[in-house]
Each structure stands twice: as C-alpha cells, then as structure tokens.
Amino acid sequence: MPTDLDHVALATRDAGPAVRMLAGELGGLVLFGGQARGFRPMQVLLGDETAGMRVELLEPWDTAANDFLERFLARHGDGPHHLTFKVDSLGNTIERLRSAGYRPVNVDHSDPDWQEAFLLPREAHGTVVQLAQTVHQFATESGFLDHVRRHGADGHPKWWTDPPPPGDRRGVLERVVMRTPSLDTAIAFFAGMLGGDVEQADDHHADLVWPGGSRIRIEVRTEVHTETQQPGIERLEGLVFGGVGDPVEMEVAGARLVLAPA
C-alpha cells in the first residue's frame, strides 16, 4: 500500500536560528506552520520540486496542555525528534504493523483531515515514527510550492520571524542517515513495513527511497554501548550549490547537517 516518507522533525527550544540557516543561508523555502497543544511546528523545504526533503522544526508551546515536547527537550536537548510517513489508510497500516508484532500508540482517528499513530523508538530503530493519513497528502507538490512562492508560507497562525533573503548558496537535503546494530532488521522495518525501496545495499549500509523522493541511508554501528551510539538518526546529508572546497558541516536545531559541494 502507498507509504511515503514526508519529513524529518527536529525539536528545539528556539527555531529562529534554524530558520535563518535553512531558509536564509541555504535558500530553503518556508512552507507552513501553526500552533498545537504542546508545540508549534513549521516546515522548510531544503530543495525544490525535483530534489530535496522537508525539515520540520518543533518548538514547545502551550506546555500546560501537553508537555511531551518539553519533556523530550529536558531529557535529550535539541535534536532529531521523529520521522513522519504518510499512508493511504491508517487503519490498514496499523493492522499490518500489529500483525507483525509492532505496537502503535496514541492512535487518533478523531480528525478526518489528519489521523495519526506513533511507533516508539524501541520499535522504530531509535527514533519516533509518526504515521499519518491526511486528505492533503497526495496534492500536487509543484502546485503547492508554486502557491507558497506566490503567496508566502501558510501560517495557522504565523509565529516565526521571516528569515533574511537567501544568499548565494543553495542547499538540498538528500537523505536522513540512521545508525543501527542490525542492517537486516532495519531494512525489514523501513522497507518491509514502511514501504521504502532499497536502491542499493552492502554489508555496511543500505540506501532506501520513497515515492516522493525522500531517502534514508542506514549505516551499521556495532559499538552501541554509549548513548551517542544508540540506534537512531545520526545526521542529515545533502549538497550545497554555490559553495566551494570541502564539505560543510553545521548544526541545525541540534542535528548534524553535512553538505557536500555540488
């Protein structure tokens, strides 16, 4: 059944520096944002219609109503929070996962426009996985991006400060890199359960792609004795146009972003 990797989400106490870096320094396109119980999100596309991925930034907000993000930041600090996969039928996806022994939590069918469930890190190779069914998920990407370029980002409400105009550099996020102690198990999850297509694999890593072009690279890590080597998101990788010299490595909302010169 159709499943697509939609975005990677980063938790941060202050999204301002990350927005300035992604949209200002690297020319990303701010798409939309809003406010919800316990957090306020916004998304930036680092790329265009032909290549790239979305990054979601999450700030704590209205924590008295829901303190999940505040608790995450208190425990882990800024950094990767979850991966979101869009599915055509949340009910069917949950049934398939449960039949394979997985235990989705926080299943919510109350809003027909956005139904969701989650897999916890212990079952999702070190990161939270959000599964979402939405009426907007199969809208034409090019049409949506054209709308944003013409009218600006959608804000519900707009809570962020506009980044400075982009400079000469343009970044394209190519993939999320994950570490795992078991390559076969990770492939069985991300390909077998979540619909990724294995582009290539060897004994040390595997590259997976989803229909919308988003990618994950899975790398084997056998030294998983410390917190920094636990399974999970290792870094974000991409290309930078207009840059010269060696690869550029920076920190965005607590996540490593490595960009190779194009």
SS3 81: strand
Are the beta carbons of 218 and 205 closer than 8 angstroms?
yes
d(CA 115, CA 165): 36
Whether residue 20 is predicted with pLDDT greater than 90 in this model: the reply is: yes
Q: What is the mean pLDDT of residues 32-61?
A: 96
The closest of 86, 133, 88 to 112, measured between CA atoms, is 133
Give the pLDDT band of residue 241 (cuts 50, 70, 90): very high
Q: What is the mean pLDDT of residues 92-118?
A: 96
Share of the chain above pLDDT 90, in %: 86
Whether residue 138 is predicted with pLDDT greater than 50 in this model: the reply is: no
pLDDT at position 167: 86
SS3 180: strand
Are the beta carbons of 125 and 184 closer than 8 angstroms?
no
Weakest-pLDDT range from 57-61, 163-167, 219-223, 224-228: 224-228
Q: How many CA atoms lie within 13 A of 35 on its CB side?
A: 9
Give the pLDDT band of residue 236 (cuts 50, 70, 90): very high
CATH architecture designation of domain 170-261: Sandwich (2.60)
Are the beta carbons of 127 and 80 closer than 8 angstroms?
yes
Q: What order do you get walking across the sheet with 128-134 strand by strand? A: 105-108, 114-119, 128-134, 79-87, 3-11, 52-61, 38-47, 29-34, 154-156
Taking phi first (over 0 means left), then psi (-120 to 50 degrees means alpha), and beta for anything else, what does residue 18 get?
alpha
Q: What is the DSSP secondary structure assignment for residue 190, as one 8-state letter?
A: I
Q: What is the mean pLDDT of the chain?
A: 93
Whether residue 229 is predicted with pLDDT greater than 80 in this model: the reply is: no
The closest of 126, 236, 138, 262 to 181, measured between CA atoms, is 126
Weakest-pLDDT range from 21-30, 111-120, 179-188, 239-248: 239-248
Q: State the fold for domain 3-156.
A: 2,3-Dihydroxybiphenyl 1,2-Dioxygenase; domain 1 (3.10.180)
Task: Read off the pLDDT of residues 25-40 as tens digits, 9 standing for 90 and up.
Answer: 999 999 999 999 999 9
Whether residue 137 is predicted with pLDDT greater than 80 in this model: the reply is: no
Enumerate the CATH 3.10.180.10 domain ranges in the chain, comma separated: 3-156
Task: Read off the pLDDT of residues 182-206 as tens digits, 9 standing for 90 and up.
Answer: 999 999 999 999 999 999 999 999 9
d(CA 131, CA 84): 6
CB atoms within 10 A of CB 262: 12
pLDDT at position 247: 84
Q: How many CA atoms lie within 13 A of 237 on its CB side?
A: 13
Enumerate the CATH 2.60.40.4320 domain ranges in the chain, comma separated: 170-261
Are the beta carbons of 247 and 258 closer than 8 angstroms?
yes
